[in-house]
Structure 1
Amino acid sequence: MKGFFIFKLVFSMVGAGLLAGAVYFYFDKKIFLEKAESTQGTVIEMIARRSDNSTTYCPVVSFKTKLGQEITFTSSISSNPPSYTVNEKVKILYDPADPKEAVINGFASLWLVPLILSTIGTIFFLIGSLSFLFGYLKKRKAQNLRDTGKSVTAKFTQVQLNTSYTSNGRHPYQILSQWQDPKTNDLYVFKSDYIWFDPTEFVKTDTVRVFIDPENPSKYTVDISFLPALKN
């Protein structure tokens, strides 16, 4: 289904973009650390940042460079409860060529952004890429059964709307059939892959061809090649 393909593609692209951002910020901080000078600063104020649902607090820090220049900066990291208190002494890292480029020497200030981006990016990318991978493996498995499996004739029983699965507000249909193994008398119920239109009128016979693994008939694929291709 086109909508599901777009979903997988968007998740993969967003995930890749976030991971690229994480890599960029990681190396940006690494370059900063290689040239940064260390000194001590003082928290002179805690600024409240309000959003719709919460309030967080970020420190304003004052420090002197090794050349005696007075610098004040506001940390980009805020939290609730506050991570610092007014008059608290903190370690500072700053760029000697541009002392206003300074951060508190702590894990959150240095690595929180790339950590968040990499975590969210990994989740998005895995959802998208694994969806593509599962789809590919499923098609490969079905093709392998068509090439090397055993073809059996199953009795068509019904067309079923699968209400347990939804995509873009729609439920897929499945063709159901059953087959009894003449060697063991075991009865197998086969379900086709998802079909995104009602296939009832296209089922012209009371049998359906199914490709099974002769050693394990529970591994199968229902042949629905007789159905027209859905173009939208």
Structure 2
Amino acid sequence: MATGTRVRGPAALAIIGRIFLVLGLGGLAVAVYFAGNEWRGRHTATASARIVAIGKLPAMEFTMADGSVIRFTNNVRSSSWQVGDNVAIAYDPGNPSDAVVDGFAGRWFPAGLAGLLGGAFLILGVVLTVIGRRTQRGGTR
């Protein structure tokens, strides 16, 4: 059996705060990565796609300049979309089936979500660390 002392009270709060700090910084790093990929990304061409089916995820089609029709399944869904609606999209000219809805939800949601969660963890980590350290010192200042 391993012997040792358990960390309790303010010391544990400071340790948990540091863990949240690391998670927050990691979340912000992921957000920067996602945003950088989208900013300089491959979705450089735009078109108008028509919704052809709505299931768990909507299926969309658009016509390229050469007349070829591209069909893709989109990862974004809206309750206001109906079959036949037109939606602005952005796609990779080298791989047209790699298309996304051209808007915040389609292009920036992953970066925004990672940034929001990372920021929340970072703030919580700072607060917990400060409270834990102040309490360890024997009071607040």
Q: In structure 1, which of residues 71, 96, 115 is the aligned counterpart of residue 112 of structure 2?
A: 115
How far off is 1:117 after superposition?
Answer: 1.4
Higher relative contact order structure (alpha carbons within 8 Å, sequence separation ≥ 6)? 2
Where structure 2 has 5 or more consecutive residues not aligned to the other structure, the ranges are 1-7
How far off is 1:64 after superposition?
Answer: 1.8
The residue that corresponds to 2:47 in the other structure is: 39
Q: In structure 2, which of residues 96, 100, 123 is the aligned counterpart of residue 99 of structure 1?
A: 96
How far off is 1:36 after superposition?
Answer: 1.0
1:127–1:13 distance in 2 versus 1, CA, 3 Å: same
Greater helix share, structure number: 2
For residues 183-232 of structure 1, the C-alpha deviation after alignment (integer angstroms, 9 at most, x for no partner) is xxxxxxxxx65xxxxxxxxxxxxxxxxxxxxxxxxx88xxxxxxxxxxxx
The residue that corresponds to 2:24 in the other structure is: 15
Q: TM-score, normalised on structure 1?
A: 0.50
The answer to whether 1:71 aligns with 2:70 is yes
How far off is 1:100 after superposition?
Answer: 1.5
Size of the aligned set, in residue pairs, is 132
How far off is 1:95 after superposition?
Answer: 0.8
Distance in 2 (CA, whole Å) between partners of 1:9 and 1:74 is 41
* RMSD (CA atoms): 2.5
The residue that corresponds to 1:29 in the other structure is: 38
For residues 98-117 of structure 1, the C-alpha deviation after alignment (integer angstroms, 9 at most, x for no partner) is 11211111221111221111
SS at match of 1:32: coil
SS at match of 2:17: helix
SS at match of 2:28: helix
Q: In structure 2, which of residues 111, 115, 124 is the aligned counterpart of residue 127 of structure 1?
A: 124
What are the equivalent positions in structure 2 for 1:1-232 lying under 5 Å apart?
A: 1=8, 2-32=11-41, 36-48=44-56, 58-79=57-78, 82-136=79-133, 138=134
Larger radius of gyration between Structure 1 and Structure 2: 1
2:92–2:98 CA contact under 8 A, matched in 1: yes
Where structure 1 has 5 or more consecutive residues not aligned to the other structure, the ranges are 49-57, 143-191, 194-218, 221-232
Report the identity percentage.
Answer: 27
Amino acid of the residue matched to residue 98 of structure 2?
A: E
SS at match of 2:84: coil
